[in-house]
Amino acid sequence: MIGVVVPAHDEADHIGDTLVALALAARHPDLAGEPVEVLVVLDSCGDATGDIARACGIDTLAIEARNVGRARAAGATDLLARGARWLAFTDADTRVAPDWLVRQLELDADVVCGSIGVEDWSAHGTQAGFIRDHFARTYQDADGHRHIHGANLGVSAEAYLRVGGFRPLACSEDVALVAALQACGARIAWSANARARGGFGDTLLAVIAAGLAVTAVTVAAQRVIE
């Protein structure tokens, strides 16, 4: 069985599209009928996210943590107890490709770090143009990239358990997990073929912050040289 974890905090506006996309991915013929179980982890939700998920026939798990690391870990623990051999993670504002799970599994890796794309930049307000242009300049959407996104991540049950799963981090929980997997010698595929698209507010802010930090260091070094 393949398990898919979707952490959510008040995502009623987006969760329906996310679940429709996951349903398509779960029914892909190349999965050869292997069951796919999707679990939405409702983290301190006060809106209709859970109602929408259950109306779609999707299981939900409610926690009160306001912590994405705990939410992903709780979902993984539940699905592992059901017998999942592979865990895939995405976000509640994300639409995965129909072949998302197939592409993860065909890479025959312990971990698959997929790429992302952005469909609507308007959520970033007056900074949308700046963020879009910076993203276009700095984001490597090709095999061999080194991007890590909790919105597009897959890991074998064995490898996940080997490193103790997600740490209870409010952010960068995905980076910490992949770092632990790298340290234990897990086989990692950095794939641009396992795709997901969505808003990625936190992801884009992290990309911008990293890019600006590198720029600042470069400028400082140049000043020292001069």
- Is the confidence at residue 217, as pLDDT, over 50? no
Model pLDDT for residues 170-208, shown as the tens digit of each residue:
999 999 999 999 999 999 999 877 657 766 555 555 555
Report the SS3 class of residue 29: helix
Distance CA 11, CA 1 (A): 26
Length of the chain: 226
Q: Span 22-32, mean pLDDT?
A: 98
Task: Work out the mean pLDDT of the chain and round it to a whole number.
Answer: 85
In angstroms, the Cα distances linking 32 to 10, 164, 194 are 34, 30, 18
Please report the domains of the chain, with CATH numbers, ordered by start residue. Answer: 2-119+137-196 (3.90.550.10)
Q: Compute how many other C-beta atoms are within 10 angstroms of the C-beta atom of residue 183.
A: 9
Q: pLDDT digits over 42-91, tens only?
A: 999 999 999 999 999 999 999 999 999 999 999 999 999 999 999 999 99
> What is the DSSP code string of 165-202?
S----SS-HHHHHHHHHHHTT--EEEEEEEEEEE--HH
From 117, 107, 134, 130, select the one nearest 191 (Cα to Cα).
Answer: 107
Q: Model-level pTM?
A: 0.83
